[in-house]
Chains A and B, each alone.
Chain A
Amino acid sequence: MTDSIWPVAQFDPVRRLRVIAATTPGASIHEIVVGAPLESVWDVAADLEGELPLWLFPDIRSIKVTTPTADSERLVARARGHSGLRARFDVVLRPGWCLMQSRFLLGGMAATEEDGATRFALLGGFCGPLRLLAPAIRPISARLGDRALIRFAERVGQRPR
């Protein structure tokens, strides 16, 4: 009986994002099952410059992404909002997984296959002192998250397969 024949527990990126959400004060996670293959869903999610401003939050005007190191999974994203908001995010982006962190904001996306469709999860939260605001604006952020997921599913549906 060797180590390799012992069963290994399943685990997927959406569960992983739930762990981040459950252990980050002020963070919230929203999930949706999209009737499309994982690759199609992640094509939309991973397009931070082209797609993210179209579905995430209406205030986002543009996102510019650079790869400052040789590590292709480590990116920097600079977001600009119609309201004047500017934020620089350190990003980890890989198939099925994205985590973005700025000085005050935390964002995440994850996707996994589920019964022929794709479960997609979106995480939002605050870092640093702003996390103290999270309980007060939780109802608003919940609505924003749900609406963002609806727009996301629409964007996936509009992509040619």
Chain B
Amino acid sequence: MSANAYYLPVGLPAPAPANDGLDKPYWEGTRAHKLMVQRCNQCKQYQWGPEQICNHCHSFDLGWAEVAGTGRIYSYERIWHPVHPALKERGPYLVVLIELPQAGNVRMVGNLLGDGRQEVIIGSAVEAVYEDHNEDPKNPFTLVQWKLV
């Protein structure tokens, strides 16, 4: 994917794995175009974002599960007022909150691909699109975006 194919302009903060290593499997997964969600090895409950303990059974034995990159729109917003220099000329863009029924209804934040002015309907089915960023060879990363099915 070339830089001008990104949904948002380059220059926004790049994601970096937390320095405690907690979310490394998620970011490595995105590079391989896999959607990884933290899951308790004991009670099997999914949780997101990643945490050091299972909020349900308090086990520290947490693993990662690859889940299907599909979901539905739980909420959304169309952002007009830019608060970052990289977005000054972008025009309106859509941020969506996606619920993953196949992973205990955890929610993930992304952009809804396509026209920033399109109508958005809560409950719409979406699928993940992996947006590879290689503009900085020292820090390549992949964002998980969403498109309507």
- Whether both chains belong to one complex is answered with no
